[in-house]
Structure 1
Amino acid sequence: MDNQNNNSSDPPLGIIFDWDSTLIDNWCAIAHSLNLTLKKMGLQPWTYSEIRTQTKQSARDSFPDIFGSKWREALDFFYKAFESNHIQSLTPLPGAEELILNIKSHGMFMGIISNKNGTYLRKEISQLGWHRYFDRIIGASDAEKDKPAVETVVALLQGTNIKPGKEIWFVGDSVIDLQCAHLAGCLPILVKTGTITSDEILRWPPEKTFTSCLELNAEFQQLIHGYNQQDRELGHHPNRTIHRRK
């Protein structure tokens, strides 16, 4: 784990997570569906590596560049292919459920902002039984614009007492997540399970970097322990909740 510029010993007020490659792996379904679509539209299939590095934007933002004027036809075909296999290949990443359960136990606000279509995103979250952990879920097309636009964070926090700021962690694996965190004023947290490059990290630097959800969970628990220890030393009630959702 690498801490770059964050000197705070306090736990976050809330945590926003990316979905794919941050908490789960579903790239087999994405790659299969995209290559079927490329073939259908008369284009050459991409390698798995190309798909991982070139599909960070939402489909409504990336498909016009890939398919030109036929992007809506391609998008319809892609979603039909993806619908048929995305649940079967859904796999939680190591430590992901333990991490969100730990955060949930402390009553903190948790949300998801993903560039996966919101309908399929919510199906995947429900399939894992994780819908009960998250207060808000924003997928592609749920907000006026998709990540990295600030509108996604605004939509996620709308109606809560929580404002974007450094007390909100934005956890993701890609440059899109880091960029969104910076633009919204949240604390950018990188989990290096994706394909982010050194140049992208230099341009949009994370405050903390972890190799996995397991490592992030250990850091989170250490912050909670330190915060509670400080409370006890100051004479506060040792069992109070750190930050309650509002």
Structure 2
Amino acid sequence: MNMGWLLALVWASASPCSAAMASRAGAAPVGGLRLPRVGGLQTSGVSQGPLPSLALNSSLPGAGTLAPALSPDPKPLFAAAGTVPEASPLVPLRAAAAAAALFPDSPAMPFPAARGPPRSQAELPPELAAFFAGAKAAPESPETRDFLVSLPARFDGMSAPERGAVLAGLEDAAKSAPKAKLLRRTLQALIVRDEVEHMEPRLLGAAVSAARREDVASKTRFEEVRWYHHFWGKIVHPEADGVAQRSDLSISLHVRRGWEKLPSFTAFYRALFAHEYTHRLQYEGRVTEKLGVEIPPVAAEMLRGIELVGLEGLRQGLIGFITENQLSGFDNGRAWMRSAEKASSGVFWKGFLAGAAYELAAQTGRWADAWLLHRLVSSGKSLPEAERTVRGSDPAARLAASRPDAVIFDWDNTLVDERGVVDAIRLRLFRELGVPTPTREEADRVWRTDRDGFYDRFFPGIPRDTVNKTYFAIMERMQPRNPLLPGARETLAALKRRGVPLAVVSNKPEAQLLRELKALGLEDFFAYVQGHTPARELKPSPQPILEAMRALGVAGGNVWYLGDEPGDMAAARGAGAQGIFLGTGDLPRFLSSVVKKLPE
């Protein structure tokens, strides 16, 4: 046989099929646009740097068992705070610019910070725990097979926590015996049956019917991928993680060798199903393809992935098919949602829609708004139009409708810009506490996405209070001179002309706060100034704001508290005041859109 002909045949047999390639293999954004790498927003006009964390909440089905490990980074321009979970006093880093919104209170219960599978084996009901222990010991015994055969019929009638426990237990057993195919296939079948009940409400806003669930389950299969030959009637591309077929609405989720090494098989295939099921909805005409066939599916997989493993989990690769390009598009989508002047293009980048939806939910305090934005865009609305629908009425107009009884300001990164000295303080902090110094990018990324993890990772074994006290001691020694932010003096002057009492409440040590206030010549603007002293609690406790309100002789309700941290918003809410997020650099727009329109 001619060797050249043989090599050509082998090459041809290994060529990827175009249908499968179109589903999952390509990592580049639609149109070939190359986005910057993950690790920082590279969009012009958007400040760089870490943002504080905010846990979100949801009324979506399954929230109790599949709660997202969310640490979003909200920085809306002036967003009235809803429920914000309490946060500990934090080592301040750098702030960043943000976008505008004003919203009603969000639901009261925040998502827990879930990590990994929603239920551990220890939480299984006794009967199921005993079964899975036996299945690990004898994965192919007649007793194990009989139980597995009966499990799907029982699964549909279980509560959401019970389902989560079953899937976690099945995954544990299947990974311990990867050659026991019935264990894995039962796990796979139950993932699909459960996941369609999660995705139908998220993607279409309605519960799935029993008939629909059965149809989807019967047309979704897991296929083992080792090799393929394009002369065969059915082609499976080994680089594609899944594919949905337009012809028969079937879904194939591909399982490769080494599947048992996935951090979470269940989370991986839930997110993959979310992607391919969105394709099926496109082929049924229920989700638009006008944006580009991959845009809604990629957004669905990323939002679902965040619910399952958290944003930091996505960046760590826990959902392996979510690429750096998609995460860069995600970051640009968040930047778009924060920006004051929103370009009309960009949603065609993979990940962009998910980032915009995530940021909007971070600003409203309602995780369900992320999926609402997804549904609106997937139904054909433009991204700006969908945003307006979710947000409701104009926030600036609502704020400017009546003059507040008092306005209380946070200090750092609300009225003054402390970003110029923070990196130097942080560098000394790592050195003084004798811990390795991470790169700025690494520290910023962890701070943005996992506030508790920042202390645990970089200061292991050191009490958080010690870290905070050391930080402020370094700041006291340095005595930095922080400049006023643009628009700060003008905003204070405009409010004072309108007869609004002004105050400052900051977690900064009071002696240093008073020095900075005097150096900037702002003493005459404020009727009351309060920094931290040993006798006072730190925000997010409402005590500091309540103390300021008593000093000003005002009650809550019509008192504004402007700050740049979720802890500020938690403190305002606890004190009964109207919390307003202010991103660093947003005062000029707040001045023109709200303050100057207040009655004099």
Give the AA of the match of 1:81.
I
Q: How many residues are matched?
A: 199
Contact residue 145 and residue 151 of structure 1 kept, 8 A: yes
Q: Which of 169, 174, 184 matches 2:565? A: 174
- Which of 57, 65, 68 in structure 1 is aligned with 2:462? 68
1:109 to 487, 501, 506: 501
Counterpart CA distance in 2 for 1:221 and 1:192 is 16
Does the CA-based 8 Å contact 1:25-1:92 persist in structure 2? yes
Conserved 8 A contact 1:10-1:223:
no
Q: Matches of 2:445 and 2:533 in 1, distance apart?
A: 21
- Call closer, same or farther: CA 1:69–1:181 in 2, change over 3 Å: closer
TM-score by length of 2: 0.30
Contact 2:560 2:578 in 1 (8 A): yes
In structure 2, the CA distance between the partners of 1:97 and 1:222, relative to structure 1 (3 Å rule), is closer
Once the two structures are superposed, the pairs formed by residues 146-161 of structure 1 within 5 Å of their partners are 146-161=538-553
Distance in 2 (CA, whole Å) between partners of 1:116 and 1:53 is 23
Does residue 137 of structure 1 match 2:236? no
Pick 1 or 2: higher relative contact order, CA cutoff 8 A, min separation 6. 1
In 2, Cα distance between equivalents of 1:150 and 1:23: 20
Match of 2:571, as an amino acid?
A: C
Match of 2:589 in 1: 215
Higher deviation after alignment, 45-54 or 22-31:
45-54
Distance 1:159 1:52 in 2: 39
Deviations 1:198-240 (A, max 9, x none): xxxxxxxxxxxxx71011111334432xx3xxxxxxxxxxxxx
Unaligned 5+ segments in structure 2 are 1-99, 105-394, 449-454
SS across alignment from 1:25? coil
TM-score, normalised by the number of residues in structure 1: 0.69
**For the Cα contact (< 8 Å) 1:143–1:151, is it kept in 2?**
no
Map 1:52-131; keep pairs closer than 5 Å.
54=447, 66=459, 68=462, 75=469, 78-79=471-472, 81-88=474-481, 90-131=482-523
Which amino acid is the alignment partner of residue 574 of structure 2? L
The two structures, once aligned, show a CA RMSD in angstroms of 3.1
Deviations 1:70-96 (A, max 9, x none): 9659835x45532343434x1211111
Native 8 Å contact 2:411 2:506 kept in 1: yes
Cα displacement (A) at 1:54: 4.5
Does 2:183 correspond to 1:183?
no
Contact kept, 8 Å, 2:542 with 2:570, in 1: the verdict is no
Q: Match of 2:554, as an amino acid? A: I
Secondary structure at the counterpart of residue 189 of structure 1: strand
The question of whether the paired residues in 1 share the 8 Å contact of 2:528 and 2:552 is answered with: no
1:216-235 to structure 2, matched below 5 A, reads 216-224=590-598, 227=599
Residue type of the partner of 1:162?
V
Q: Which of 427, 441, 450 matches 1:35?
A: 427
Cα shift at 1:156:
1.3
**Residue type of the alignment partner of 1:167:** N
Tell me which residue corresponds to 1:196. none
Where do 5+ consecutive residues of structure 1 fail to align?
Answer: 56-61, 194-210, 228-241
Once residues 172 and 74 of structure 1 are traced to their aligned partners in structure 2, the CA distance between those partners, rounded to angstroms, is 20
TM-superposition CA deviations, 1:148-185 (whole Å, max 9, x none): 1111112212343211x221011111111111111111
User: 1:7-39: CA deviations, max 9, x gaps?
Assistant: 461011110111111111112323312321221
**Residues 1:79 and 1:18: Cα distance change in structure 2 (over 3 Å):** closer
Q: Which amino acid aligns with 2:426?
A: L
Paired residue secondary structure (1:3): coil
- Distance in 1 separating the partners of 2:569 and 2:467: 31
Identical-residue share of aligned pairs (%): 21
Q: 1:223 to 1:84 in 2, by over 3 A?
A: same
Greater share of helix residues, 1 or 2?
Answer: 2
Within 2, Cα distance between the matches of 1:70 and 1:2? 33
2:417 to 25, 37, 59: 25
Q: Considering fraction of residues, name the structure with more strand.
A: 1
- 1:114: how far off? 1.1
Deviations 1:135-154 (A, max 9, x none): 11121226531101111112
